[in-house]
Structure 1
Amino acid sequence: MGNADLRDLAVIEPISFDELAGSVVAVDAHNWLYRYLTTTVKWTASESYTTADGTEVANLIGVVQGLPKFFEHDMTPVFVFDGAVTDLKDDEVQARREQREQYESDLAEARERGDEIAIARLDSRTQRLTDTIVETTRELLSVLDVPVVDAPAEGEAQCAHMARTGTVEYAGTEDYDALLFGAPLTLRQLTSKGDPELMDLDATLSKHNLTWEQLVDVAILCGTDFNEGISGIGPKTAVDLISEHGDLFSALDARGEHIDHADRLRSLFLDPAVRDVAVDTDIDPNVDAAREYVVDQWGVDPDEVRRGFERIEDSLVQTGLGEWT
């Protein structure tokens, strides 16, 4: 389902960081990291994060810049990394790959003509989460004693499961599909300036007089990351159809339509591959070791991470590690 469509349905309200103090957030690591990665690439000279052999580790700057937001507000992040990708997502993965290849071609042309504005824009759009980026991010989080969870499949589904089972208070992602995976409360805009947004599943269901299962059916009619949806059906029409007919299959029958793998699509959201985990939130970041890892081991420009590390150190003094449990 397109983000714009689901946002039209979702109940989202601003929430202050003061209200979030002491909470634990399961962060969709790939989603969070990609946003900081593209921002870092867009606004930072590549020499600041490229090793002697040409390996780009802009993610290390992004992590150091992004973590203080949690620590300064007495929040504990738990980073959840994606596992296997379902074969139903193959079309989307292929489409994203083709789009990135087009961006890479456009970027090469922009460099040939010396168009610095286009280069900056396209450089961020061609970023991908390489094995090195994922591995170095995990290693840096480990040095900072930030909990990491490996999802069996979709990281977002695992975040939602952790929120539903009370392992954490919130899921943290920019993706509206957190609603479809059943996250009761989702924090958005954690990578932006200002206070975050709170997306509330129960309030969303109440607003449209739907069950969670029916909301998933609405999304499948409109189209999700795993299916195209029915042409001409937007969120309002989908809600009306499900409200009138009760479920996806009755609505499809009434219109004489068919969606391939409809059962599997529903199951992907309602019964995704997730696992129960225990999270130790009594963390003790080693800032000196983290700085050495980023600057000395990977050669990141110390000026690019100095303020981020200072903010982390200051937050440890202000909040006190004993309050992070």
Structure 2
Amino acid sequence: MGIKGLTKLLADNAPKAMKEQKFESYFGRKIAIDASMSIYQFLIVVGRSGTEMLTNEAGEVTSHLQGMFTRTIRLLESGLKPLYVFDGKPPDLKRQELAKRYSKRADATTDLQEAMETGNKDDIEKFIAMVLHLYFQFLYYKRGIITWLYEVNFYLFQVYAVASEDMDSLTFGAPTFLRHLMDPSSRKIPVMEFQVAKVLEELNLNMDQFVDLCILCGCDYCDSIRGIGGQTALKLIRQHGSIESILENINKERYQIPDDWPYQEARQLFKEPLVFTDEEQLDIKWTAPDEEGLITFLVNENGFNSDRVTKVCY
């Protein structure tokens, strides 16, 4: 989810912090890419379009491999240097959220089966997207590959920007954040670039207040206060300055505060995420493709066209 409604909130209140860019404008730039989100993105596009999932001889889905392969080629041909980032197990607060999503996935699967029986195309599309989304989020939990891309990458990898679809990249402090970089070229959607410094300037908030705003809007680590949407959250933060002050002054009858609301823990995760910081062990290099490895994985194991894969290596 990232931060609920943050894109619209910024469009309404900080439009100068957002600008459309052409894909080709990032020529020569090193971009840290949210690998897990990109993989999910290619699966969900197939689900929504109703196209049959690509599989290898073993019946394993390869649609995401096709999407990543095609998009990586386009990135390289456009002169970009992609750095795909994964990470370890999710924090405890994220585990709780993912457990809820696993439960919801079972309900969504049942709804999808019913929609397919009735032939309602709109419902089929909706529930395919929901099942894929919840399933992939659960895979993150099981495999421990929740991504942490944020500000540390700008210092350790010296990349220009973070590319993801999760708006909480801004909440973690990524100075430059890109959305839609990994969208299929057929969608013809421009890249949307956000500058966190401009966001703070436009909203007239400091970084601590922006983090609290995002928690109030709704994030992956705790529930939000019922009745408070983005605009109300922004108004309250501007008026009171922090969640603590808001809780002291809020109308408890009008706004329902969750029991044992872990907003402080969520705040801590945004401000001090668990990241790999041993710079001495980092040796990031952009080298020629591993032709033998690509052929083994893509052609031999997953049925890709040999000529197409070989051509990319030269």
Range into which the TM-score falls when normalised by the shorter chain: 0.7 to 0.9
* Cα distance in structure 2, aligned partners of 1:63 and 1:310: 16
Q: Residues 41-61 of structure 1, C-alpha deviation per residue, up to 9 Å, x if partnerless?
A: 556434x41433x33333222
TM score, norm. by length of structure 1: 0.76
- Report matched runs for 1:183-262 at 5 Å: 183-192=174-183, 193=185, 194=188, 195-255=190-250, 260-262=261-263
- 2:268 alignment partner in structure 1: 267
TM-score by length of 2: 0.78
- 1:87 corresponds to which residue? 92
Give 1:85 shift.
1.6
Q: 1:223 to 1:118 in 2, by over 3 A?
A: closer
In structure 2, distance between residues paired with 1:116 and 1:311: 39
Secondary structure at 1:187 match in 2: strand
- Alignment match of 1:70 (pick from 57, 75, 80): 75
Equivalent position SS for 1:158: coil
Q: CA deviation at 1:2?
A: 4.3
AA aligned opposite 2:192: E
Aligned to 1:178: 169
State the secondary structure of the residue aligned to 2:149.
helix
Aligned to 1:15: 21
TM-aligned CA distance change 1:210 to 1:117, over 3 Å: closer
* CA distance in structure 1 between the partners assigned to 2:152 and 2:294 by the alignment: 30
| More displaced 10-residue stretch of structure 1: 28-37 or 193-202 | 193-202
Pick the aligned partner of 1:162 from 153, 162, 167: 153
Structure 1 counterpart of 2:5, which letter? A
Instruction: Measure, in 2, the Cα distance between the counterparts of 1:118 and 1:247.
Output: 41
Q: Structure 2: any 5+ residue segments left out of the alignment?
A: none
- Aligned letter for 1:169? Y
Residue in 2 that maps onto 1:105 = 110
Gaps of 5+ in 1: 136-149, 317-325
Distance 1:2 1:158 in 2: 16
Q: 1:50 to 1:297 in 2, by over 3 A?
A: closer
Contact preservation (8 Å) 1:76, 1:281: no
Question: Counterpart of 1:145?
Answer: none
Q: Name the amino acid aligned to 1:293.
A: F
Q: Is the 8 A contact 2:31 2:161 kept in 1?
A: yes
The reply to whether residue 51 of structure 1 matches residue 57 of structure 2 is yes
Contact 2:23–2:181, Cα closer than 8 Å, also in 1: no
Asked if structure 2 preserves the Cα contact closer than 8 Å seen for 1:186 and 1:199, the reply is yes
1:71 shift after superposition: 0.6
Q: Secondary structure at 1:179's aligned position in 2?
A: helix
Alpha-carbon spacing, 1:311–1:218, altered in 2? closer, same or farther (3 Å): farther
Deviations 1:145-201 (A, max 9, x none): xxxxx97xx51x333321365621111101111111111101110222343110110
Quote the RMSD (CA, aligned, Å). 3.3
Change (3 A) 1:50 1:205: same
Q: What whole-Å deviation, never above 9, does each CA across 1:222-273 have from its counterpart, x for those lacking one?
A: 2211122222222222222222222221121121665622321210101111
User: Relative contact order, CA 8 A, sep 6+: which one is greater?
Assistant: 1
CA 1:74–1:263: 2 relative to 1, 3 Å: same
CA contact (8 A) 2:112 2:128 kept: yes
Aligned length: 290
In structure 2, relative to structure 1, the CA distance for the partners of 1:102 and 1:82 (3 Å cut) is farther
In the aligned structure 1, how far is the partner of 2:181 from the partner of 2:196? Answer: 18
Conservation of the 8 A alpha-carbon contact between 1:67 and 1:312: no
AA of the residue aligned to 2:175? P
> Aligned match of 1:298 in 289, 302, 307?
302
